Structure 1
C-alpha cells in the first residue's frame, strides 16, 4: 500500500511534465543543431537539420531527387539533408567521396538491403568492409564482365524473339498496352537466362512469374524507407508495419522474394550439378567456384543464394527503367527518333546489324550509343545518394569541412544535370552532346554516377547494357510507336526511380511482315498420328520459329511441347476435329502475302531452306515433304511457272490429298476443307515469290539454288514445273 502514493505521483508527473520536457528537449536540440552542431555551417532547410523525418518523408513520397534539385538551386552545391548527412551537387567531388585508393567506408544505409535469414556473408552491394569487399570481388568478379554475359546471348536472343512476337501481337490488335510493364517482363526473362540458364516464363505465359514484379515494387519503397530511418528505430518500424496493411504487404513481399530466390537457386543448382562449368549462366559459374575453391575462399551455396537474391531484386527493375526512358524520350523527341532509326535501318541494310541484334553490333552505332548514354545521364535508374562516412581526418567539400563520421554522398539524378559539365541544355534530351569532341566526352563520362564509382561500380552493368542495346535496335527497326495518351509519365523514386503510364500503341513498319508456313504431315500412319510443323518467317529477323497464337490454340490438346534447335515441334497427336479446326483456321488467318514477304523469301531463300531442312525430326520415318519450300526451290531450275488459281489448286489437291496426307476415309469434311484452304494459301504465297526469285538473284546464287532445287526435286520425287 505504501507504493500507491509513489505511483500516483509518478503518473501525475509524467502526465503534466513529460510533454513539457519533450518540447524543451527538442527546442534545445534545434538550437544546438542549427548553431553549435559540427554541420551547422552547412546550408539547408530548417527541418532536415534537426530531424531525419524530413528525409524519411520524401523517400516515402518518392520525390527526393526532385526536392534535392530544387534545394540545391536555392542553397548551393552542398546541402544538409539530415542532422548527420550532407549531399553535394558538384560532380568534381566524385573521386573524393568514391575514391579507388583508400575508399571511404559505407554507412549503415546498406544494412536493410542485406537479405535476412540466409546466414551468408554480405554480398558485393551490402558489404561495408572494404577489405572483405575486395576479397569477395576477387572470388566472383570474373562471372559478371561483358565476356561472360556474351556467352548467354544466344539465350537472350530467344527472349528477344519472343518479345518481338508479343509486341507484334499488340501491333496487329492495334490496342494500347503497358509498354513499360512488358519491358520489365522482357528484362526479368533475360535475368533468368543470365542467372539460372533459362527464362523465368514472363513472356512465354504473359504473366508476372511468381509475382516478382509485384513483390519488387512493394518491397523497394519499404526497404528505401528503412535505409534512411535511424538504425535504432528500424525494429520499431518493422513492428508497426505488421499493423499497417500496406507496410505489411511490403514486408511479406520481401519474404516472398527471398523464398523464391531460394527455390529458383536450388532448382537451378539441381539442373546444373551434372554440367557445372559447361553452362554459361552465372549460377553454374558460381557453383564451379564453390566446387573448386569454396572452402578455401569462404564461398558457399549460401553466398550463391544471396547473390541470386540481389540479381532478382535489382537486375530487372533497374534495367527496365532505362529501357522505358529510351523509348519515352524518343517518343517525346521526334527528330531524335528519326535520326536513330535511320542509323539502325542503314546498319541492317549494310549488314552491320543482323537479327536478332547482337550487343557488340548495336553498341558500335554512334548515335544509338549516344541515345543510351544520354538516357542514363538524364534519368538514372538509381536516383538516391549512396552515402559514405567522412574519413578520420575529415573532408573538405565545397569549401566546408565535414568532420569524421558524418555521412556524405552525391545523388546521380542531381549531379548528372550539372550545367557546368553538360551545358546549358543539361535538362534536355540531347544525344548529340555525346558526339562532341573527345575531350568533352571524357569530361562528361567522369561526371556520370548512375553505374556507381570507385571500387563499387555496378557488376550488373554488362547484363543491363546488353539488354538495352539489343531491344532498342530491334524495336526501333521493327515498329513505330506512340503514347496512347497526352499525359506525361509518373515517377516514384524508391531508390530505383520507377516510371508508370508508358502506355503505347505500336504499328509494324513496312518492312515488318509475318508469314506463317504450316505443314501437316502424317509420318506414322500405323498409329494414325500427325505432326504439326510451325515455321515463322519475319523481316527482321530472317527466320525463326516460335510458339505463336497458332501453337497456343492447340497447346491444351497436346501432351507436351518440345523444342529442337530453331524449330518448334508438337508431340504427335491423333486427328481430332475439335483440335484441327482452330489450328487450320488460325493458320489461314496468319498467312500474309506482301511485297515485303516476297522480298524476304527471294533474298534469303537459301538460308530459309537450310533452317527449314534442319527441322526434320528423327522420329519421322522420312523427312517431311516440305511441300511449300521444296516447290519453291524446284522452280529455280526452270522458267517461272503458271500462276495456279485457287480453283485449279483445289482440283489438283482433291486428286491426291487423302493419299498424300494418309487421311482415313472417315476424315470429317470440315477438316478436309480446312486442309485445302491451308494448302491453297501456301500456293498463293509461293507463286508470286517465284517470279521475284527468277529476276532478282545473282548468277552465283542462282546456280547454287538451282542445283539444290534439282536435288530436292529428285530426292522427293517432285515433278519439274510446267
Structure 2
C-alpha cells in the first residue's frame, strides 16, 4: 500500500504538471509538438540526436506559423522584426545556458593530464560558449584582430599548398582509374582541405590529411562527435545534467573520443611554447600564424601575456569550429552546382572569361581576384543562405518587459531563438521562391534589398558575428574557382540527399 501511495502521488504530480503546461502556463497559447506543450524537452533532444533538427523545425513552422513552442520554456520564431530585436547590437537579450554545453570540449579533461596545471573542472568558456556579455566582449576585443581579414590575407600564401594538394589527390584518383575520370567522395576531400588550411593558418603546418589521403588519427570523427553530443547536451534544461549527458554520450557512443580535441590542442600549444622558450625572445617564428598571435596577446590593464590556458581554449575552438562548418559550405557549394547544371555552366563561363581577361590567375585563384567575381560571390551567398553553418536555434533569454510576437506575448525569462536554416527560407525575407537555390537573386536585388538580405544571413547576428567568417571566406575563395578551372564534376548516382547541416 505504501508503494501504491507513492506511485499515485507521482502520477498525480505528473498529471498536474502536464495540465498546468497545457492550459495554464504562460506559453500554453502557443502551438507546437505535444511533448513541448506538456512541458517536456523531448522534441528538441530527439531531433538533435537524430541530426534532423533543422528539417523537423522547418516542418513545425510550415504547420504552425512563425511562432512555435519547442520546449518547456523555449520558443522558436521566424518573425523578421523579432530577429532584429533578439540579435541587435547592445540589446538585453542575453545568451541562455544552452551555450554552456559547448565548453564541454575541454571541460574536465584537463585533470587527466595532472602535470600541466592548465585546466580545472570549470574550464574557461570559449568565444561561442561564453554567456556573460561583458566577458564575451572583452575576449572578443582582445582576439578580433587575429581573425581579421587583413590577418588572413597576410597568411594567404600558406593556403596555396593545400589547394595544390587537393588537386594532386584528385589527379591521382583519375590516373588510377585509367579512364580520365574517377568516383570520389568530394565531401571527404573538401573536409581534408578545410582542416589542412586550419593547420596552416592556425599552427604553421598542415595536418597531413591531403598529402596522406587519410585521417590517420581519426580526428575528424572526434570533432563530429563533440559537436553532435554537445548539441544534444545543450537541449537539456539543467546545467548539471548537460555535463553528465555530454560525458555519458561520449563514453557510450563515441567512435573516437572528443578528448582528442583537447589532446591535439595541448600538443600543438605545448610544442610551440617549448620552441619559443628554446629560441628566446629573438627567435620568434617568422610566420605569424594564429597561434603565434594568440601567444603575443596581452591582458589589457596589466599588460601581462595571455595565459597558456586561454591560448589553449582559443586553439581548441579553431580546431573544432573552424574546419567543420567551412567543409559543409564547400560541399554544399558543389552539391548545388551539380544539382543545377545551368548555374554550373554560368559560373564556369564567368571563371573562364576571368582567366582569359587576366582577372583571375589560372594557376590558382587569389582572394583579391575571387571576391570580384560577381556570380561566384552570389553562389557563395546563396549556398550560405540555403545551407547555413547552423541548423539549431540560437537562443536568448527574453528580457524584462517581454517580447511581442504577433498575437502572442512571450514573458521575461523565456528562451527565444531563431534557426538560420529555417529563417533563411522565409518568403517574407527572401521572396516566394525562398526554398529555391537561385544565385541570381543576389544580382537582381537593389542595393537596399541586397543589404537587407545580407543582414538576414544569420551567420553574423549582432555582436556575435562569427569571427571565423574570414577564415571561411579565405578558404572558399581560394579553392572553389581553382577547382572549377582544373576539374569537371558530375553528380554521382548515389548522391541524392542534402548535405548534412552541422548540429
Q: TM-score, normalised by structure 1?
A: 0.64
Q: Is this contact kept in 1: 2:233–2:243, CA < 8 A?
A: no
C-alpha distance in 2 between matches for 1:239 and 1:459: 28
Cα deviation per residue 1:381-406 (whole Å; 9 max; x = unaligned)?
21111111111222222342211111
Q: Give the match for residue 190 of structure 2.
A: 183
- Change beyond 3 A, Cα 1:36–1:316: same
Partner Cα distance (2:144, 2:285) in 1: 16
1:230 Cα deviation after fit: 2.2
2:74 counterpart residue number: 85
Q: Which residue of the partner structure matches residue 226 of structure 1? A: 233
CA contact (8 A) 1:359 1:469 kept: yes
* Secondary structure class of the residue paired with 1:408: strand
What is the deviation of 1:160?
Answer: 0.8
Alignment-derived partner of residue 373 in structure 2: 365
**Alpha-carbon deviation of 1:293?**
6.2
Give the counterpart of 2:53 among 34, 59, 64: 64
Distance 1:80 1:439, change over 3 A: same
Question: How far, CA to CA, are the matches of 1:298 and 1:289 in structure 2?
Answer: 6
Q: Return the alpha-carbon distance in structure 2 between the equivalents of residues 278 and 47 of structure 1.
A: 57
Report the Cα distance in structure 1 between the residues aligned to 2:219 and 2:351, rounded to whole angstroms: 33
Q: Which residue in 2 is equivalent to 1:483?
A: 491
Counterparts in 2 of 1:440 and 1:490: CA distance versus 1, 3 Å: closer
CA displacement at 1:278 relative to structure 2? 4.3
Cα distance change on mapping 1:100 and 1:238 into 2, 3 Å? closer
Contact 1:191 1:312 in 2 (8 A): yes
8 Å contact from structure 2 (residues 27, 410) kept in 1: yes
1:41: which partner in 2? 29
1:285 paired to 2:293: yes
Conservation of the 8 A alpha-carbon contact between 1:77 and 1:90: yes
Q: Match for residue 383 of structure 1?
A: 391
Deviation at 1:493, TM superposition (A): 4.6
Q: Does the CA-based 8 Å contact 1:388-1:408 persist in structure 2? A: yes
Structure 2 match to 1:706: none
2:343 is aligned to: 336
Taking a change above 3 Å as real, the CA distance of residues 238 and 288 of structure 1, as seen in their structure-2 partners, is closer
Match of 2:125 among 122, 125, 141: 122
CA offsets, 1:194-219, max 9 Å, x none? Answer: 11111111112222153211111222
Aligned with 2:168 (options 165, 186, 200): 165
CA distance in structure 1 between the aligned counterparts of 2:25 and 2:305, rounded to whole angstroms: 43
Query: 5 Å matches for 1:209-608?
Result: 209-231=216-238, 232-237=240-245, 240-241=248-249, 245-246=252-253, 249=254, 253-272=257-276, 274=279, 275-276=283-284, 278-290=286-298, 296=303, 299-354=306-361, 355-436=363-444, 437-449=446-458, 451-489=459-497, 491-495=499-503
Which sections of structure 1, spanning at least 5 residues, go unmatched? Answer: 1-11, 496-722
User: In 2 relative to 1, CA 348–294 (structure 1 residues): closer, same or farther, beyond 3 Å?
Assistant: farther
Match of 2:63 among 58, 74, 79: 74
Structure 2 Cα separation of the partners of residues 145 and 137 of structure 1 = 11
Question: Partners of 2:141 and 2:285 in 1: how far apart?
Answer: 18
Tell me by how many angstroms 1:434 deviates: 0.3
Tell me, what secondary structure is at the counterpart of 2:101?
A: helix
CA distance change for structure 1 residues 286 and 236 in 2, over 3 Å: closer, same or farther?
closer
Residues 479-504 of structure 1: per-residue CA shift (max 9 Å, x gap): 11112214413555552xxxxxxxxx
1:177 is paired with a residue whose SS is coil
Aligned counterparts of 1:340 and 1:109: Cα–Cα separation in 2: 40
CA separation of 1:481/1:459 partners in 2, compared to 1, >3 Å: closer, same or farther? same
The CA deviation string for residues 541-576 of structure 1, in whole angstroms up to 9 with x for no partner, is xxxxxxxxxxxxxxxxxxxxxxxxxxxxxxxxxxxx
Check whether the contact 1:98–1:454 (CA below 8 A) recurs between aligned residues: yes
**Aligned counterpart in structure 2 of residue 25 of structure 1, from 1, 6, 13:** 13
- Structure number with greater Rg is 1
Structure 2 CA distance for aligned equivalents of residues 481 and 362 of structure 1:
20
- Aligned-partner SS, 1:87: strand
Deviation of the 1:64 alpha carbon: 1.2
- Selected match of 1:146 from 135, 146, 149: 149
Equivalent of 1:105, from 94, 105, 108?
A: 94
Quote the RMSD (CA, aligned, Å). Answer: 2.0
Residues 154 and 271 (structure 1), Cα distance of their counterparts in 2 relative to 1, 3 Å cut: farther
Secondary structure in 1 matching 2:21 = helix
Contact conserved, 2:100 with 2:125, CA < 8 A, in 1? no
Aligned residue pairs: how many? 477
Deviations 1:271-326 (A, max 9, x none): 45544474221110111114x86954783111010001010011111000000000
| Bigger relative contact order, structure 1 or 2 (CA pairs below 8 A, ≥6 apart) | 2
Segments of 5+ residues of structure 2 without an aligned counterpart are: 111-118
Aligned to 1:633: none
8 Å CA contact 2:202–2:291 kept in 1: the answer is yes
Helix, strand or coil: the match of 1:431?
Answer: coil
Compute the TM-score of the two structures, normalised by the length of structure 2.
Answer: 0.90
